[in-house]
């Protein structure tokens, strides 16, 4: 495929690298900062930077578009690309709210194009192995998921775009929290009801720096989640509990530590479980795996990538927590 990149920052660069590694052509770039688009284009022979995203997605030689901008532009650019007949991989959360994303889903269905959302955590090897084990019945019927995800920010974090609800749509719950929500839905199914609280405890910003969520799933299972940007030591931990076993994923590589999956199998006599551990050091392979799944989806294979329906469901959870939090703050 000939692929366009809209948004040429860190994630756009990662996407371009994986697209080229998989044998596709990075054919065009666009960014709100033209110099960034030009710089990324220089790294790929034959790639041309465009003055704006509308011009780029309208090009007849473009097959697919990667949208990797900040949150306030995600839905509008995806909608423009869909209306131009392009397949789209849009970075999470795909919009600032579900209401922004629903028209995109309707347009994609009408245009007959494929849109996937970049919840790349589904494609980390420990999580793919965990899903394989769950599907094989290694843990028995699912009971609940407990997840924690956080980082410690950096000097000036409360003045960056992620701290501005107008640009981001929310704070930490919308940033890292949507990954936890998406993964929990992936393992436990649809959410029936939500309770939670989003609050600002440390950073001087109008968006939340911590989000706490309890998900009640349609099948009776529970998700218990915490996303934080006052974690200080970067952390990712997802625990998946079944009636006969538990899976625990720790780390995502880099500052989050070596990615590791532990499988604890309950023995008939109970007591200490039988334990198997897998570790996945080295480069993050999720970007390549997710784009390969996107290719397959375009070709008609269902795959495991997140859809617009998945993104809307995650954003609906975030909105419910924000509404409950606003009521709690007014009552205090």
Superfamily per CATH, domain 2-118: NAD(P)-binding Rossmann-like Domain (3.40.50.720)
pTM of the model: 0.96
CB atoms near residue 92 (< 10 Å): 24
Cα–Cα distances in angstroms (integers) from residue 74 to residues 70, 93, 101, 164, 172, in the given order = 7, 8, 9, 16, 18
Q: Could you tell me which residues come within 8 angstroms of residue 329 by beta carbon, excluding any fewer than 6 positions away?
A: none
Sequence ranges of the domains in the chain: 2-118, 121-281
Chain position carrying tokens 């407990």: 146
The answer to whether 215 and 181 are in contact (CB under 8 A) is yes
Residues that are catalytic:
92
CATH topology of domain 121-281: Dihydrodipicolinate Reductase; domain 2 (3.30.360)
Q: Tokens 């070709």 sit at which residue?
A: 299
SS (H, E, C) the chain: CEEEEECCCHHHHHHHHHHHHCCCEEEEEECCCHHHHHHHHHCCCCCEECCCHHHHHCCCCCCEEEECCCHHHHHHHHHHHHHCCCEEEEECCCCCCHHHHHHHHHHHHHHCCCEEEECHHHHCHHHHHHHHHHHCCCCCCEEEEEEEEECCCCCCHHHCHHHCHHHHCCCHHHHCHHHHHHHHHHHHCCEEEEEEEEECCCCCCCCCCEEEEEEEECCCCEEEEEEECCCCCCEEEEEEEECCEEEEEECCCHHHCCEEEEEEECCCCCCCCEEEEEEECCCCCHHHHHHHHHHHHHCCCCCCCECHHHHHHHHHHHHHHHHHHHHHHHHC
Q: In tens digits, what is the pLDDT along the chain, a chain of 332 residues?
A: 999 999 999 999 999 999 999 999 999 999 999 999 999 999 999 999 999 999 999 999 999 999 999 999 999 999 999 999 999 999 999 999 999 999 999 999 999 999 999 999 999 999 999 999 999 999 999 999 999 999 999 999 999 999 999 999 999 999 999 999 999 999 999 999 999 999 999 999 999 999 999 999 999 999 999 999 999 999 999 999 999 999 999 999 999 999 999 999 999 999 999 999 999 999 999 999 999 999 999 999 988 999 999 999 999 999 999 999 998 888 87
């Amino acid at each position: 495929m000939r692929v366009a990149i809209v948004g040429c920052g860190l994630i756009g660069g990662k996407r371009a690298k994986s697209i080229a590694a998989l044998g596709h052509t990075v054919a065009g770039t666009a960014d709100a900062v033209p110099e960034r688009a030009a710089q990324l284009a220089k790294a790929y022979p034959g790639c041309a930077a465009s003055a704006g995203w509308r011009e780029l997605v309208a090009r007849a030689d473009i097959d697919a578009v990667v949208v990797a901008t900040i949150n306030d532009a995600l839905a509008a650019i995806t909608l423009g690309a869909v209306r131009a007949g392009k397949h789209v991989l849009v970075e999470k959360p795909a919009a600032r709210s579900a209401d922004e994303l629903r028209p995109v889903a309707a347009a994609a269905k009408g245009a007959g194009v494929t849109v996937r959302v970049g919840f790349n955590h589904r494609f980390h090897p420990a999580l793919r192995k965990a899903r394989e084990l769950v599907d094989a019945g290694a843990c028995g019927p699912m009971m609940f998921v407990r997840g924690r995800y956080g980082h410690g920010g950096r000097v000036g974090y409360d003045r960056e775009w992620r701290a501005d609800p107008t640009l981001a749509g929310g704070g930490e719950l919308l940033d890292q929290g949507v990954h936890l929500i998406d993964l929990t839905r992936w393992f436990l199914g649809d959410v029936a009801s939500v309770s939670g609280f989003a609050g600002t405890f440390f950073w001087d910003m109008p968006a939340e720096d911590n989000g706490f969520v309890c998900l009640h799933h349609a099948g009776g299972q529970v998700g218990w989640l915490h996303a934080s940007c006052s974690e200080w030591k970067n952390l990712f931990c997802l625990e998946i509990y079944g009636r006969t076993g538990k899976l625990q994923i720790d780390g995502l590589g880099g500052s989050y530590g070596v990615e590791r999956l532990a499988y604890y199998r309950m023995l008939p006599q109970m007591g200490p479980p039988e334990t198997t551990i897998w570790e996945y050091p080295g480069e993050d392979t999720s970007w390549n795996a997710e784009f390969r799944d996107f290719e397959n989806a375009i070709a008609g294979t269902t795959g495991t990538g997140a859809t617009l329906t998945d993104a809307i469901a995650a954003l609906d959870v975030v909105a419910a927590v924000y509404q409950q939090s606003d009521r709690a703050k007014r009552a205090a």
